[in-house]
Amino acid sequence: MSVAEQSQTRPGADLRFAVIGAGMSGMLAAIKLEEAGFPHVEIFEKAGDLGGTWRDNTYPGLSCDVPSHVYRYRFAPNPNWSHRFSSGREIWEYLDGVAREYGIRDRIRFNTGIDRCEYDGAVWHLTTEGGETETFDIVITATGVLRDPVMPDIDGLDDFEGPLFHSSRWDHSHDWRGKRVGLIGTGSTAIQITTAMADEVGKLSLFQRTPQWVVPVENPEIPEQEKQALAKDPARMDSLYDYLADRFQNTFARAVVGDKEELAKVEKACEENLATVRDPELRAKLTPDYQAACKRLIMSDRFYEQVQKPTVELVTDRIERIEVNGVRTADGRLHELDMLVCATGFEAHKFMRPMQVIGRDGHTLDDEWAEANRAYRSIGVPGFPNFFTIVGPNSPIGNFSLIMISEMQFAYIMKLIDQIAEGRAREIEPSREATDRFNADIKDAMTGTVWVSGCSSWYLDKNGNPAMWPWDFERFADEMAEPDLGDFRMAS
Ligand code: NAP
C-alpha cells in the first residue's frame, strides 16, 4: 500500500506534525512519520542544508569515533563505509543519501528557523524567524546537543588580524598547509585536527589548558572484498551492527557508569598509550591529573605520534591575550601565527533554546528549566503536551551510537503519538510526579559515575550535574521498550 493510500486509512492521518531540525534525528522522525502514514509533516531547518553536526563540522581529520557499521540507521545499512571509523564527509554523504532515498530532502524547509512555539490549549503555533506563523498538532524537536559553538573568553580575541574561526565553522578559503597555525583546546576535535595537520603544517602551536586521556583505537580501512561481501549479504551487516553495539555496551559504556573492572581496563590502555611518548617532559605535560573517562575520552592511536612531530609545539603556559599577530602566553612569549582555530567546544545545555517554548497556561520552557534541564526519559516535559524531543536532556550521548539512541527514543515517541492518533487522548505529556521521580533517580545514580570523579567537562551542567544517562544500556532499552502510560497525563 502506498503512503498516500495508507494515509487515507490510518487513524489520525489528518494530524499536523512539525519536526524542528534536519540533522540525523530530525531526518529520522520525518522518515518514520511518513512510513507510519502521516502525510502532514513539515520539516524546519535553520541552516541551508541537512546533516546537523556532520554539516557544520568539516575540519581536517574529522571522523566519528563510533564504528561506522553501528553509526547508521538500523533501517538503512551501508556496505560502503571506507574505514572502521569513517570520515565526517562520508557520514554526511550517507545522511544525504538516506534523505534522497526516502524522499525527504526536497521536503525540508531550509533556512527556516523556528523562533517560537506556543500552545494555546489545543494546538501549537510555530513562528518562523521570518515572522510567519503555522499551526500544528504535534511538535518534535530534533535540534541536537553540540550545536552552538563557544568562542573562548580571552582578551584581544578580536585583535587577531589573520583568519580566526571556531573548529565547527572551518574557513576553507585559507590553506593551512605550510603555515603557522594556533589551535586552542585539546578536546576530541583538537586532537583530530592536530593528528591530521602535523605532517603538512608549517608549525602548529597547540594550546592546552587541561591534558586529556587518550585511548588508542585503530582505524583500519575496510577492504573492498569485505564491502562486497556486506553488499551481497545484508544479514552480515546486521550481525556486524549487533556485534559492535554489544561490544560498546558491554565495555566502555559500563566503564563510565560504575563498572570498576571495565574502567580499570580503559585506564590501563590510556596509561600504556601515554607511555609511548618518548620525551619525559612532553609526557609530563600530557599527563592528566584526573581519572580516565571523566572528561569525554579521546580515541586515537595516532595523536601521540603526531604531537611528537617537530612541526608541533604543545604550549601549556596559560594564554594571557590574543594580539594582532599571535597569542601571548603568561610567560611573556608571543606565539606568532598566520591562522588561529578555536576548538573550544559547544554550549551543550541549551537543547532547543533560544527558541521560545510556551506550554500550557503560558508556562515557558525557560522557566521550567531555569534551575536544570529536567525531562521525563529525555523525551517530554510536564506542561508541554504533544511536544516531544529526540536526544533531550540525559540522553545517553557519548556512551553509545547516538543514531541508535535516536531510533529507540523515536520509536517510544511514536507509541505516544499513537495514543493521540487512535483517539485515546487529545493531549499527552509526562506527569510532574513521574518526571520528578525520574530526575531524582538520575541524581542518585550519578554519584556512581566517572563523570563526577573530579574534572570539568561539558558533560556537567551549571550545577555540576552530568547531563548524561547514568545507567547501562539494558536499562535504557528497558525504559524505551514501552511507555508506562501511568506516568503520563492524558486528556481527551
Ligand atoms: P570540548 O571537548 O568541549 O573541548 C574544548 C577544549 O577547549 C578543551 O580542551 C578546553 O579546555 C578548551 N578550552 C575551552 N575554552 C578555553 C579557553 N578559554 N582557553 C583555553 N582552552 C579552552 O570540545 P570539542 O573538542 O569540540 O568536543 C566536543 C564534543 O564533541 C566531544 O566531547 C565529543 O562528544 C564530540 N566530538 C566527537 C568526535 C568524535 O569523533 N565522535 C569528534 C569531535 C568532537 P579544558 O579541558 O581545560 O576545559
Ligand 1 nearest atom to the CA of residue 188, by list position: 25
Q: How far is CA 32 from CA 9, 229, 379, 421, in A?
A: 17, 29, 16, 15
Q: Looking at residue 189, which CATH number applies to its domain?
A: 3.50.50.60
479 C-alpha to ligand 1 centroid (Å): 31
Q: Which of 326, 62, 322 is nearest to 203 (CA)?
A: 326
Helix and strand element counts for the chain (H, E): 15, 23
Residue 112 CA to residue 20 CA, distance in Å, equals 10
Tens of pLDDT, residue by residue over 287-337, are: 999 999 999 999 999 999 999 999 999 999 999 999 999 999 999 999 999
Do the domain assignments include residue 246?
A: no
Question: Angle at which helices 402-421 and 473-481 pack, to 10 degrees?
Answer: 20
Claim to verify: residue 86 and residue 142 sit in the same structural domain: yes
342 C-alpha to ligand 1 centroid (Å): 9
Sign of the four-CA dihedral 5, 7, 8, 9: positive
With the most atoms of ligand 1 within 8 angstroms of its CB, the residue from 191, 295, 300, 344 to mutate is 344
Tens of pLDDT, residue by residue over 88-116, are: 999 999 999 999 999 999 999 999 999 99
Asked whether the predicted pLDDT for residue 57 surpasses 70, the reply is: yes
Residue 403 has a pLDDT of: 97
With the most atoms of ligand 1 within 8 angstroms of its CB, the residue from 90, 219, 296, 400 to mutate is 296
85 C-alpha to ligand 1 centroid (Å): 19
186 C-alpha to ligand 1 centroid (Å): 6
With the most atoms of ligand 1 within 8 angstroms of its CB, the residue from 168, 188, 340 to mutate is 188
* Domain count for the chain: 2
Residue 302 CA to residue 304 CA, distance in Å, equals 6
Asked whether the predicted pLDDT for residue 139 surpasses 60, the reply is: yes
Residue 295 CA to residue 457 CA, distance in Å, equals 5
| Residue that is last in its domain, among 291, 307, 342 | 342
Tens of pLDDT, residue by residue over 452-490, are: 999 999 999 999 999 999 999 999 999 999 999 999 999
* Alpha helices (H) in 422-472, listed in sequence order: 432-446
Q: What percent of the chain has pLDDT over 90?
A: 94
Do the domain assignments include residue 165?
A: yes
3-state DSSP call for residue 310? coil
Residue 409 CA to residue 405 CA, distance in Å, equals 6
Claim to verify: residue 69 and residue 207 sit in the same structural domain: no
| Residue that is last in its domain, among 342, 360, 390 | 342
250 pLDDT band (50/70/90 cuts)?
confident
Residue 114 CA to residue 353 CA, distance in Å, equals 10
248 pLDDT band (50/70/90 cuts)?
confident
Residue with cell 521498550: 481
pTM summary value: 0.96
203 C-alpha to ligand 1 centroid (Å): 21
Asked whether the predicted pLDDT for residue 6 surpasses 70, the reply is: no
Please give all residues whose beta carbon lies within 6 A of any atom in ligand 1, as ranges: 63-65, 146, 152-154, 167, 184-190, 192, 209-210, 296, 319, 343-346, 398, 456, 458
| Residue that is last in its domain, among 327, 342, 357 | 342
Q: How far is CA 195 from CA 51, 302, 309, 348, 462, in A?
A: 24, 7, 10, 25, 32
Claim to verify: residue 320 and residue 177 sit in the same structural domain: yes
Claim to verify: residue 286 and residue 361 sit in the same structural domain: no
Do the domain assignments include residue 177?
A: yes
For 43, the domain range is 3-148+347-491
Residue whose CA is at the smallest distance from ligand 1 atom 46? 210
Asked whether the predicted pLDDT for residue 1 surpasses 70, the reply is: no
Do the domain assignments include residue 222?
A: no
All cell numbers assigned to 394: 540525559
Please state the φ and ψ torsions of residue 323, each to the nearest 5 degrees.
-115, 180
Claim to verify: residue 76 and residue 58 sit in the same structural domain: yes
Q: How many CA atoms lie within 13 A of 19 on its CB side?
A: 31
Q: Over the chain, what is the mean pLDDT?
A: 96
430 C-alpha to ligand 1 centroid (Å): 34
Residue 256 has a pLDDT of: 87
